[in-house]
Amino acid sequence: MKSNEIKSKTVPIWEKYMLTVDEAVQYFGIGEKKIRMLIAENINTNYCFTVQIGNKSLINRQKFENFLNQTTSL
């Protein structure tokens, strides 16, 4: 496979396992500040749905969906 063929095969957001904050904003329709606040509040809890890679936060899409389903208000 050529490198330009690999680049053209992008995975849709709804099929990704981990999302960046920007992708999560698009997918869930929640503001960036609110998502970053939820990450900070839940970093060391049982509801932790992120992986930190340096300064970058990756959100586990399924865990975040479950978190949102259990949350009554944001």
What are the residue boundaries of the structural domains of the chain, listed by start? 3-70
pLDDT score of 13 more than 60? yes
pLDDT score for 51: 93
29-69: pLDDT as tens digits: 999 999 999 999 998 888 889 999 999 999 999 999 999 99
Specify the higher pLDDT residue, 8 or 63: 63
Contact 23, 57 (CB under 8 A): no
For the domain spanning 3-70, the CATH number is 3.90.105.50
At residue 1 the predicted structure's pLDDT band, cuts being 50, 70 and 90, is: low
The two structure tokens encoding residue 20: 């960046």
Distances (CA, A) of 40 to 15, 33, 35: 25, 11, 9
pLDDT score of 5 more than 90? no
